[in-house]
């Protein structure tokens, strides 16, 4: 391209020059001229590039002028007048915080201390149908539980609770303890509290599925379970829980003339949950206790037919004690163990426990053995699932809490349980003492704190105390039905 251009320029120059046209030019001269023209073109292209770069620099400089002007004006402007000096505002006093769930919960400004009221109200009604035994049942109402107390924390690392109960016209102290929670997974508790003694026994009464626990749980728990004064050490993570402690008697138990020393013993419970996700739970556990120096060296094992409005025992076994001329008689110690299991699969769940009680007696009197168990299944019509936390059943919350204006009716649960207690030991009595009950339940959870419970109970007791005129040798059988309801509120 460049050669063609140069050639064209050369021919034009030759044509315009008369001297050259008149006199022929040699090839060497033409080539020399072409080289000179090429050099000139290269010089012009270089100068053109330099001019283009200079133009770009000028454009860049012009673009910065507005910013430079703004800066110069700002620097030239007089400084603003200083703001008038005023007295510093007083520092705001830190305020405590109040949060609301169903009740107010208070905390200090630094979060070191918290405080909240707590309580449970259970109002029952039951009607009975006597089918055999001639016993006159008492139909009517009962305040099954009326509890009120307070929970709190102190210095973030301590938790405390104090709670009283009013049942059957009698007031008593229920919980009164302080717990240290500053170590991860580990809690140390001192005071009166519920001791480790099984799944139903250690689950809050507010969260159990039926009006009452299994009969063997209640009967055997009265000996060395329930609430006692002592020291508990508990470890819990997502897989296992392990709880143990040393305990004396309940605060309401006073010194006994026959056995002046206070009852004492030790309890333990271990659970494992290899599966625990939403809607999927596999729970296994075992617990036990050993107690000595029982009040009066005596024990009475008894429970009602899964409802307490009438308060008559379906089965009972009494082992009296005494001290004659310094020689004790009756129960020397009691040993109890419990095996528990539960499974949750979506809205379905199953749960059961086996209980065994061994009573060691003084001198040559043979030891006694009793047992019992329950098993039940539940199903949520509204799709909820039961949940477990730290080895016990957790609070049930409806997917859609009760609100008819939005078409929400809470949660509905169906449940069926078979419950059996066997207080037969022929070293104690020639009679069999075998109680059993079938219970069908419908539970309506309006929200997480309020529910209505309906139980139909069909019970039977061999040689039961619910027989009007028992036969001393062969005994008689009591049979009946109970229709029971409960309004439950807890906070």
Q: 3-state class of 110 per DSSP?
A: coil
Task: Give the H or E element holding residue 23.
Answer: none
Asked if 236 and 301 count as a contact pair (C-beta separation under 8 A), the reply is no
How far apart CA 233 and CA 177 sit, in angstroms, is: 13
Q: Is the pLDDT of residue 336 over 60?
A: yes
What pLDDT band is residue 68 in, cutting at 50, 70 and 90? very low
Lookup result for tokens 């997917």 = 399
Q: Give the whole-angstrom CA distance, residue 179 versus residue 288.
A: 22
Per-residue pLDDT band at 26 (split at 50, 70, 90): low
Confidence of residue 13 (pLDDT cuts 50, 70, 90): very low
Assess whether pLDDT exceeds 80 at residue 56. no
Q: What is the pLDDT of residue 323?
A: 87
Mean pLDDT of 3-8: 42
In degrees rounded to 5, what are phi and psi of residue 18?
Answer: -65, -35
The predicted structure's pLDDT at residue 98: 84
Range name among 89-93, 135-139, 426-430 with the lowest pLDDT average: 89-93
Question: Are the CB atoms for 99 and 114 separated by under 8 Å?
Answer: no
Gap between the terminal Cα atoms of the chain: 97
Q: What is the pLDDT of residue 125?
A: 98
Q: Which two tokens stand for residue 445?
A: 């959870």
pLDDT given for residue 92 in this prediction:
54
Residue 184: pLDDT band by 50, 70, 90 thresholds?
Answer: very high
pLDDT, tens digit, 9 for 90 and up, residues 384-396? 999 999 999 999 9
- Burial code of 248-258, b = ≥16 C-beta within 10 A, e = fewer? bbeeeeeebee
Contact 202, 194 (CB under 8 A): yes
Cα–Cα distance measured from residue 484 to residue 213, given in angstroms and rounded to the nearest whole number: 14
Residue 225 has pLDDT above 70, yes or no: yes
Q: Considering only 3-17, 28-42, 209-223, 335-349, which range has the smallest mean pLDDT?
A: 3-17
Q: Check: CB of residue 201 under 8 Å from CB of residue 374.
A: no
Average pLDDT, the chain: 85
pLDDT at 88 over 80: no
The residues pairing with 230 across neighbouring beta strands, listed in sequence order, are: 191, 247
């Amino acid at each position: 391209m460049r050669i063609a251009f140069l050639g064209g320029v050369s021919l034009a120059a030759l044509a315009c020059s008369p001297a050259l046209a008149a006199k022929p030019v040699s090839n060497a001269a033409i080539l020399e001229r072409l080289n000179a023209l090429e050099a000139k073109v290269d010089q012009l292209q270089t100068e053109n590039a330099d001019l283009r770069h200079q133009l770009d620099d000028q454009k860049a400089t012009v673009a910065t002028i507005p910013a430079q002007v703004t800066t110069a004006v700002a620097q030239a402007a007089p400084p603003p007048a200083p703001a008038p000096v005023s007295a510093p505002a007083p520092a705001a006093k830190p305020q405590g915080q109040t949060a609301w769930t169903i009740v107010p919960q208070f905390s200090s400004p630094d979060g070191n201390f918290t405080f909240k009221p707590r309580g449970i109200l259970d109002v029952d009604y039951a009607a009975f149908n006597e089918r055999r035994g001639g016993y006159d049942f008492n139909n009517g109402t009962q305040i099954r539980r009326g509890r009120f107390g307070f929970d709190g924390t102190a210095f973030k690392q301590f938790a405390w609770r104090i709670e009283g109960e009013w049942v059957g016209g009698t007031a008593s102290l229920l919980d009164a303890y302080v717990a240290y929670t500053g170590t991860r997974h580990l809690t140390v508790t001192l005071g009166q509290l519920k001791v480790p003694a099984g799944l139903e026994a250690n689950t809050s009464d507010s969260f159990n599925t039926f009006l009452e626990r299994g009969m063997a749980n209640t009967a055997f728990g009265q000996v060395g379970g329930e609430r006692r004064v002592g020291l508990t050490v508990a470890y819990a993570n997502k897989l296992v829980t392990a709880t143990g402690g040393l305990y004396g008697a309940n605060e309401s138990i006073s010194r006994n003339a026959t056995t002046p020393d206070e009852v004492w013993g030790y309890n333990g419970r271990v659970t494992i949950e290899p599966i625990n996700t939403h809607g999927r739970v596999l729970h296994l556990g075992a617990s036990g206790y050993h107690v000595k120096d029982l009040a009066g060296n005596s024990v009475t094992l008894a429970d009602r037919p899964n409802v307490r409005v009438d308060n008559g025992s379906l089965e009972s076994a009494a082992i009296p004690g005494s001290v004659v001329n310094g020689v004790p008689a009756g129960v020397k110690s009691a040993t109890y163990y419990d095996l528990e299991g539960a499974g949750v699969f979506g809205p379905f769940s199953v749960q059961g426990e086996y209980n065994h009680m061994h009573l060691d007696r003084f001198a040559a009197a043979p030891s006694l053995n009793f047992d019992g168990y329950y098993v039940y299944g539940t199903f949520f019509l509204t799709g909820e699932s039961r949940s477990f936390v730290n080895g016990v059943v957790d609070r049930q919350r409806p997917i859609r809490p009760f609100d008819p204006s939005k078409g929400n009716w809470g949660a509905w649960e169906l449940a069926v349980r078979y419950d059996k207690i066997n207080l037969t030991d022929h070293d104690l009595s020639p009679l069999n003492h075998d109680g059993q009950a079938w219970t069908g339940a419908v539970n309506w959870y309006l929200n997480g704190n309020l529910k209505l419970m309906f139980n139909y109970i069909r019970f039977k007791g061999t040689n039961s105390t619910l027989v009007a005129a028992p036969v001393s040798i062969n005994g008689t059988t009591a049979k009946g039905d109970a229709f029971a309801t409960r309004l439950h509120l807890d906070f």
